[in-house]
Structure 1
């Protein structure tokens, strides 16, 4: 048996823009269908919103995206809740973070730079006790990313 998991992100009317942004960061192919594509009359508000969206890259990264019906709005905090660092700990009311781990500092630093565009930086990207590079941010679409470089252990 082979099982995979894919993060399914729910947006408030910004799924198409989020998929486009993530494609600019990670590359890959976006597949998207609107409510109108699945039979909602095109003149109904929301018919142009995403009911099924997915980004998939050649190296296996996959994200899904969906617009919550009737929940249009660009306030990422309404989706994201809040996350902050305080006295070395992470304080949040979010039910999950999206983790992104790479094998080299160079590849992860590049992704950090792209995701940080328009983001709220929670923990700046820098070396940590457990990783050559670690950082945390909430991107412009309200997704909180925990980003790090896989530590190598010798011995």
Structure 2
């Protein structure tokens, strides 16, 4: 048996835009099913919101997202999670960083760190904080 975990992001009306943005950064395919598609519209203003969505790429990237309906409580909170993207190719991580950084606030620039050849943190325009780094061999 194997187990896979996938980051599932919750939004309030921005899930489709976020998924499209992440697909433009990481590639892969986007699937988005709206409340209207699923026949589960409870608020006409939210019919086109995403009830279930994902971006999945052949490179292993996978993130899911949905729009929390207004009838349910939701608060993005302050730093409730980070999404970590790790890879062993500095050029690939740098390219992803440059794409993701568009419209983002850089918390820590992508640069060498004591524990990694490259490490950086940014918060994108949807309020999601991303950590990107290049893996380093463990020298325990």
TM-score by length of 2: 0.90
Q: Aligned ranges for residues 18-33 of structure 1 at < 5 Å?
A: 18-33=18-33
Aligned-partner SS, 2:53: strand
1:150 to 123, 135, 138: 135
Provide the C-alpha distance between the structure 1 equivalents of 2:54 and 2:64, rounded to a whole number of angstroms.
4
Counterpart in the other structure of 2:38:
38
Structure 1: runs of 5 or more not aligned: 72-77, 82-93
Residue in 2 that maps onto 1:127: 112
5+ long unaligned stretches in structure 2: none
Q: Secondary structure at the match of 1:142?
A: coil
Large movers: runs of 4+ above 3 Å: 40-43
1:51 CA displacement: 0.3
Q: How large is the RMSD of aligned CA atoms in angstroms? A: 2.1
Provide the C-alpha distance between the structure 1 equivalents of 2:64 and 2:15, rounded to a whole number of angstroms: 9
Instruction: Name the SS of the counterpart of 1:37 in structure 2.
Output: coil
| Paired position in structure 1 for 2:70 | 70
CA contact (8 A) 1:49 1:67 kept: yes
- 8 Å CA contact 1:34–1:51 kept in 2: the answer is yes
- Matched residue of 2:70: which SS? coil
How far off its partner does 1:80 sit? 5.5
Deviation at 1:144, TM superposition (A): 0.4
- How many residues are matched? 137
SS of residue in 1 equivalent to 2:85: strand
TM-score, normalised with respect to structure 1: 0.82
Aligned to 2:14: 14
| Alignment partners' CA distance in 2, 1:60 and 1:37 | 27
2:121 match: 136
Conserved in 2, the CA contact under 8 Å of 1:80 and 1:143? no
**Which residue is equivalent to 1:79?**
76
